[in-house]
Amino acid sequence: MQAKNLVRIFLPLLILWLAACGPKSIVVPRAEKKTVEVPAKATFVGDEACKPCHAAEFTSHRAGRHKLSLFDTTKSALGTMTPPEGETESSFALQSIEDQLTVMIRLPQQTERNEVPLSLAIGSGKSGMTYMIFGKSLSAVLGQSYFPSEKKWHATPGQEDVPKNQPGGIYNTEKTRECLRCHVVTLPPNSMVPEKRFYGIGCESCHGEGSRHAALMQNQSKSANIGLRSLIGMGGKEMNTLCGRCHQTTEMVLKMDKKYQKSTNRFQPYGLSLSKCFLKSNNTLTCSTCHNPHQNAETDPKHYEAVCVDCHSGVSKAKKACPVNPKEKCVSCHMPSRAVFPNTAVTTKMADHFIRIYKNLPP
Ligand code: HEC
Ligand code: HEC
Ligand code: HEC
Ligand code: HEC
Ligand code: HEC
Ligand code: HEC
Ligand code: HEC
């Protein structure tokens, strides 16, 4: 096709596309119109407060694993991800009292096993779910986690060395809060028990406390100061910091044991920050170039190939085209998935975010 024809076909498409990306007008639903008091200081309010005005983001986020990263330990909450009742390879047996899951377990300072209710299940179940028991000021993070897709229990990652006759990690309140901090929006002061509206990663985990914004927008839908982080147009480094609070920044990884420096698949902001694509793109390559932060990661490789080819089309000399395959399958060669917990029974794999040329692809 001649260049002139391409322009004729693509220019109108481009204009349409740009128009679609222009500022959206967010309308406060008529039924909700009432004037409310604007708080001086923003606090967390929970996702439900955003729903009336941002229904699209609310609906896709609610169905995603960010939101679904923490559950009550009831059969009705866990549905098909409920573990089967019976002994596990650890010291405990799973049981239930009506809807509530319980375990027969010997906790520290007890001489025999007792039936105790489980308190929370961490994880969406994409790979594994870890169960917690809350006491007054201590918690137990069970040494075996359930992997719903395999219907199997495996040692909880990081607890492989905990003896089988022990329940698992015993944490004080502070350490429990530290454990939960990436799986909840916020915790009440000095407590390890999250409020239900703050289960999982919510809107405010990324956008910040929303009460002021919600009130300002309720009263006047246009304002110079929207009282919240927009995040649109954020640079790559800044987004690495935002997402890296949980997915781990370079700074955080360099403070860990040296072996984690190879975990460019598990710690995406760290991995991405080492890539030439990232380093030579003037801060324009961000997590949201490839991911919609309100949805799960796309599993169709074509989605990502389109992003790669967008830069590596061969048009710009600064961004080369691939001499091996300039059109497709980029991810399998340059961002291969590999095991997150090598040398354990857990088979979870994640895509290497250090985009590079491999001499030998991982198995
Ligand atoms: C009463 C309606 C209303 C509620 C409730 C509300 N918003 Fe908004 N929001 C708006 C409007 C209107 C705008 C556009 C403001 C502007 O551009 O001047 C907006 C803008 C935003 C933006 C920036 C989008 C952009 O284009 O830059 C984000 C992010 C956002 N809201 C998130 C939230 C979150 C999170 C909550 C819940 C804590 C929330 N909103 C609650 C009405 C609302
Ligand atoms: C610094 C943030 C952070 C902390 C603290 C944290 N996690 Fe996570 N967790 C993550 C992220 C990010 C993922 C997504 C997968 C990954 O990156 O490994 C995850 C995934 C998981 C999963 C797997 C979910 C699935 O279905 O695949 C489980 C289970 C889990 N975490 C349990 C825990 C437990 C138990 C603790 C406390 C002892 C904890 N996490 C502390 C960030 C954190
Ligand atoms: C994991 C982090 C994260 C979470 C959770 C999250 N957002 Fe966002 N949101 C972002 C980022 C990043 C952007 C900017 C995306 C971009 O670069 O276009 C954004 C953009 C937006 C926008 C502007 C969209 C547009 O294109 O005009 C709105 C509105 C918004 N978010 C609302 C919400 C609401 C409501 C929730 C909860 C239901 C939520 N967000 C949850 C990270 C997040
Ligand atoms: C925002 C633009 C951009 C995007 C998107 C992008 N890259 Fe790059 N990439 C670059 C730049 C700039 C370089 C450095 C110049 C060069 O080598 O072409 C680079 C370099 C590379 C290199 C050479 C690395 C090395 O160490 O020599 C590979 C391989 C690569 N990119 C693959 C990909 C793949 C695969 C994707 C999609 C998953 C992708 N890139 C997405 C801009 C981008
Ligand atoms: C408050 C902590 C937190 C923040 C901030 C956060 N994430 Fe996550 N993210 C997680 C956890 C935890 C999981 C694993 C959820 C699960 O499966 O249980 C996850 C999972 C994901 C997934 C995988 C979803 C899937 O398909 O399995 C993607 C993609 C992702 N996050 C991208 C982002 C991006 C992009 C940002 C920044 C805009 C971000 N996250 C910010 C905690 C966070
Ligand atoms: C079968 C594996 C494979 C596939 C598929 C593949 N590549 Fe490559 N790519 C390579 C290898 C190997 C090299 C190194 C070639 C060399 O040095 O001669 C390379 C080199 C590159 C380079 C560096 C070019 C340079 O001149 O420095 C870029 C950029 C790149 N690939 C991007 C991509 C993109 C984008 C895609 C998808 C459209 C892709 N690759 C698909 C294996 C692959
Ligand atoms: C150049 C494209 C690209 C960029 C930029 C990118 N990702 Fe990814 N991401 C991918 C691909 C490809 C996958 C694998 C999707 C699949 O098939 O499940 C993935 C998967 C993930 C997953 C799920 C784990 C897995 O591998 O299945 C998480 C979490 C994630 N990305 C977080 C991030 C974060 C955080 C950032 C920003 C620091 C980011 N990604 C930037 C391409 C990208």
DSSP assignment of 305-330? HHHHHHH-SSSSTTSPPPSS-SSS-H
Q: What are phi and psi of 216, to 5 degrees?
A: -60, -45
Domain membership of residue 96 (yes or no) is: yes
Question: Do 205 and 194 fall into the same domain?
Answer: no
**How does pLDDT run across 281-329, given as a tens digit for each residue?**
999 999 999 999 999 999 999 999 999 999 998 787 778 899 999 999 9
Which of the four pLDDT bands, split at 50, 70 and 90, describes residue 6? very low
Question: Do 85 and 180 fall into the same domain?
Answer: yes
Question: Do 155 and 191 fall into the same domain?
Answer: yes
Contact 331, 350 (CB under 8 A): no
Provide the residue range defining the domain that includes 262.
233-351
- Amino acid found at 344: T
Question: Do 214 and 292 fall into the same domain?
Answer: no
**How does pLDDT run across 82-101, given as a tens digit for each residue?**
999 999 888 899 999 999 99
**Residue 348: Cβ-neighbour burial (10 angstroms; 0-12, 13-18, 19+):** middle
Strand partners, 170: 140
How many domains does the chain divide into?
A: 3
Residue with tokens 């596309």, as numbered in its chain? 17
Round to whole Å and give the CA distance between 8 and 196: 54
Round to whole Å and give the CA distance between 291 and 269: 13
Question: Do 101 and 167 fall into the same domain?
Answer: yes
What is the structure's pLDDT at 28? 64
Q: How much is the pTM?
A: 0.94
DSSP secondary structure code for residue 4 in this structure: H
Domain membership of residue 81 (yes or no) is: yes
**How does pLDDT run across 336-362, given as a tens digit for each residue?**
999 999 889 999 999 999 999 998 888
Round to whole Å and give the CA distance between 126 and 172: 28
Q: Is 8 helix (H, G, I), strand (E, B) or coil?
A: helix
Ligand number, closest to the Cα atom of 142? 2
Question: Do 182 and 88 fall into the same domain?
Answer: yes
Where a domain ends, among 159, 186, 219? 219
How many whole angstroms from its chain centre is CA 245? Answer: 11
- Nearest protein Cα to ligand 7, atom 16: 299
Question: Do 180 and 239 fall into the same domain?
Answer: no
Round to whole Å and give the CA distance between 86 and 151: 13
Contact 32, 211 (CB under 8 A): no
Q: HSE (CB half, 13 Å, CA atoms) of 255?
A: 5
Question: Do 143 and 211 fall into the same domain?
Answer: no
Question: Do 80 and 45 fall into the same domain?
Answer: no
Round to whole Å and give the CA distance between 121 and 147: 12
Cβ(208) – ligand 1 distance below 6 Å: no
Domain membership of residue 56 (yes or no) is: yes
Where a domain ends, among 219, 254, 289? 219
Contact 118, 73 (CB under 8 A): yes
- Nearest protein Cα to ligand 4, atom 24: 356
Q: Is 302 helix (H, G, I), strand (E, B) or coil?
A: helix
Cβ(206) – ligand 7 distance below 6 Å: no
Question: Do 213 and 249 fall into the same domain?
Answer: no
337: tokens are 């998935």
Domain membership of residue 127 (yes or no) is: yes
Question: Do 117 and 165 fall into the same domain?
Answer: yes
Question: Do 82 and 194 fall into the same domain?
Answer: yes
Express as a percent the part of the chain with pLDDT over 70: 90
- Nearest protein Cα to ligand 4, atom 37: 308
H or E element in which residue 274 lies? helix 268-274
- Nearest protein Cα to ligand 6, atom 5: 329
| 358 alpha carbon – ligand 6 mean position (Å) | 9
> Of 44, 57, 66, 70, which is best to mutate to test ligand 5, by the most ligand atoms within 8 angstroms of its C-beta?
66
Domain membership of residue 1 (yes or no) is: no
Contact 168, 140 (CB under 8 A): yes
| 99 alpha carbon – ligand 7 mean position (Å) | 36
DSSP secondary structure code for residue 7 in this structure: H
Domain membership of residue 314 (yes or no) is: yes
Cβ(195) – ligand 6 distance below 6 Å: no
Domain membership of residue 21 (yes or no) is: no
Domain membership of residue 3 (yes or no) is: no
Q: Tell me what the mean pLDDT of segment 136-141 comes to.
A: 94
Where a domain ends, among 151, 185, 219? 219
Round to whole Å and give the CA distance between 154 and 247: 23
